[in-house]
């Protein structure tokens, strides 16, 4: 299996395979420019659909999405024969949903969460970058975005708290 690749993936293949359809974020990962950002953008409407759920149900949804995401991303990576293809964006979905845990679903916080998550995901500060480089397979694809989501969640929760003081 080769490392990250910008090799294009054919859209018909993504739409025929349920695993790739989910891994590629319902097709958002096919974007030729900034597929991770596009994937995160497509995660926003899903957040809006689940944001009114009780926190326990929201948390369970995100945990299941993360656990299933390990398999989805790993399987898609195997099918493409590329570890962590840039078009695999299910990890961005989960990372954004983690960022938005217990956050109000108003546009200010949706945008703040989006920007803060993308900063952590792109910059990959320690230990995110270490995990990104050293952990392989589906878990490796997911874990850096999960941690970026946790760090972004802490950041936006602090910002929310400070805005209420």
pLDDT 10s digits, 101-135:
999 999 999 999 999 999 999 999 999 999 999 99
State the pLDDT confidence band at 10, using cuts at 50, 70 and 90: low
pLDDT in tens, 35-80: 999 999 999 999 999 999 999 999 999 999 999 999 999 999 999 8
In-domain check, residue 95: yes
In-domain check, residue 126: yes
Full domain range(s) for residue 37: 11-164
Mean residue pLDDT of the chain comes to 93
In-domain check, residue 6: no
In-domain check, residue 4: no
Q: Note the pLDDT of residue 61.
A: 99
> How many domains does the chain contain in total?
1
Q: How many other C-beta atoms are found inside a 10 Å radius of the C-beta of residue 81?
A: 11
In-domain check, residue 31: yes
CB neighbour list of residue 47: distance below 8 Å, 6 or more residues apart: 96, 97, 100, 105, 110
Q: Note the pLDDT of residue 9.
A: 61
> CA angle 18-147-39, nearest 5°?
40
pLDDT at 8 over 70: no
For the record, the structure tokens of 161 come out as: 């708290």
In-domain check, residue 5: no
Express as a percent the part of the chain with pLDDT over 70. 93
Q: Note the pLDDT of residue 84.
A: 85
In-domain check, residue 36: yes
């Amino acid at each position: 299996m080769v490392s990250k690749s910008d090799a294009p993936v054919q859209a018909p293949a993504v739409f025929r395979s349920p695993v790739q359809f989910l891994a590629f974020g319902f097709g958002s990962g096919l974007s030729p420019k900034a597929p991770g950002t596009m994937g995160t953008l497509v995660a926003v409407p899903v957040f809006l659909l689940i944001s009114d759920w009780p926190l326990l149900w929201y948390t369970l949804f995100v945990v299941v999405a993360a656990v299933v995401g390990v398999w989805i991303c790993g399987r898609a990576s195997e099918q493409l024969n590329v570890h962590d293809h840039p078009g695999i964006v299910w990890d961005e979905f989960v990372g954004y949903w983690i960022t938005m845990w217990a956050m109000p679903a108003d546009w200010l916080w949706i945008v703040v969460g989006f920007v803060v998550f993308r900063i952590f995901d792109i910059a990959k500060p320690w230990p995110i970058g270490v995990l990104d480089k050293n952990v392989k397979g589906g878990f490796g694809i997911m874990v850096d975005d999960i941690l970026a989501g946790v760090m972004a969640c802490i950041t936006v929760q602090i910002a929310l708290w400070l805005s209420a003081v």
